[in-house]
Amino acid sequence: MTGIDEISADRPSVFHLFSAPLLPATLMLGGGVTLYAVETYITATIAPSIVRDIGGLELLSWMTTLFVAAAVLGSIFVAMRPRGIGLRSVYVAGALMFGAGSLICALAPAMPLVLAGRTVQGFGAGILAGLAYAFIRFAYPEPLWQKASTLYAAIWGVSTLLGPSLGGLFSEGSAWRHAFMLLVPLCVLMAALAPLLLPRAEDDRAHGKIPILQIALLLAAVLLVSIAGTIDEASSKALLIAASIVATLSMLTVERRGKNRLLPTGAVMLAKPVARVYLTMFVLLLVLTSDIYIPYFLQVLHGVTPLMSGYLTALVALGWTFAAFFSATLFGRGANTAIVAGCVIEMVAVASLTTFLATDNPSGNLAVLGPAVIGMFLMGFGVGLGWAHLVTKVLSLVGNAEQDKASAAISTVQSLGSAFGAAVAGVIVNSTGLVDPGGVAGGVSAAHWLYVLMALPGLIAVTISLTLSSPAERQAR
């Protein structure tokens, strides 16, 4: 019996990922996710320093918009790569692209070149994120698929604290360039080690043409909703969101009727369990992204300092990480229960903020602020409780020929959910008082309506999650 077989026979834990036979793959796959996650928060921290040093304030929002769009395209490339190109070769390409983008950013004399670097960097990041899931079935026995997803969630949670802290070290003058430059040799090292440390992965995808129209519509949807998230004017933001929804629905219609598919079979038909799993993931992320306004509400309504508000908001991500480890030992009926419970907890936690966060508490009274902080933690806890189980369901519900599509779609759903959540949250707060009348009164109104309305999609997630343990799902393989 091999080391991997022995792990399969035992009751698996996250620590099995770091056993001798699996450690090389874990370091490479986890390293790719870490690179993506930490860089996301470092760049958000040093962005103001970049503008102060080389200008381009009017282009600042595009640093994130282009990165996200390119990351979606990168994750799609994992599934749609030319035949004959193995996953290890794709990993090498992704690491080198990330490094090349970082180098461009580090040497950029003006913001347009920084944007070019962020686009290249985003494409590489999307590849690395997509590969983390695509490689799971080749790197680990099936009982450890969920554990690998738990590890990735933990990396994102830790990165919410580590990223801004590292970014702060490079926020003075032109030191921001070093934050990018330090990544270049690391990316080169990862590219060099990938063929040695990652397992060989058979290209067992089904034959078919590249679904160019679906990819174009999806990218249009991502760009439109990402741009919407950067605009303050409510009517323009709403118009862009509407256009993005049209592009998304058009993509799904083409996907359903076309022969060349971007998504795995059944992913656009709610009668199929895999579609309901993806929709649950999308809604969970959409609701969770309402946390982007928490730092503002903490500062304006509760008298919390900017630094402390940042750390308090990080409790959302830490809640996700804590819950991921908490539920990592659950299987079967316990895993299904965790998914439903997670959806309920997130919905209730968001609804609780309408009372505890949306209130005038300038002295920071802990009787009010304390429950709000608990609600923030539980927002992330709810998502983390079921996320790894949802990922495992996706991978177990599709055949081997569509595993790469299924893996890429996970990253795409994450990006779309976060982008739509940010844009919708922006429309809500700008329409309910954040800008007019503004101040404390506007903040209370905006916070109240934001979390009232964002709790409603949570009902959708709860309803769908109750169907994920149906006989149809158990039979669909």
Q: Are 95 and 74 in contact (CB under 8 A)?
A: no
- Tell how many helices (H) and how many strands (E) occur in the chain: 19, 0
Q: How far apart are CA 421 and CA 217, in angstroms?
A: 19
CATH class assigned to 20-202: mainly alpha
Average the pLDDT over each of 94-108, 155-169, 390-404, 423-437 and give the range with the smallest value: 155-169
Mean pLDDT of 443-454: 94
Query: Exposed (0-12), middle (13-18) or buried (19+): which is 246, by Cβ within 10 Å?
Result: middle
> What pLDDT score was predicted for residue 415?
81
In degrees and rounded to multiples of 5, residue 233 shows phi and psi of -70, 120
Question: What is the average pLDDT across 436-459?
Answer: 92
Amino acid (one-letter) located at 311? Y
Q: CB neighbours of 334 closer than 8 A, spacing ≥ 6?
A: none
pLDDT digits (tens, 9 = 90+) for 173-219: 788 999 999 999 999 999 999 999 998 877 666 666 788 888 899 88
Cα–Cα distance for residue pair 101/124, rounded to 1 Å: 8
Architecture of the 265-477 domain: Up-down Bundle (1.20)
What residue spans of 10-144 are helical by DSSP H?
23-54, 62-80, 87-107, 111-134, 136-139
**Comma-separated ranges of CATH 1.20.1250.20 domains in the chain:** 20-202, 265-477
Burial class (CB in 10 A: 0-12, 13-18, 19+), 96: buried
pTM for the full predicted model: 0.82
Q: Rounded to a whole number, what is the largest CA-CA distance in the chain?
A: 69
Using alpha carbons, list the distances in angstroms from residue 131 to 88, 243, 405. Answer: 9, 30, 11
pLDDT in tens, 415-426: 888 888 888 888
Give yes or no for residue 303 having a pLDDT over 70: yes
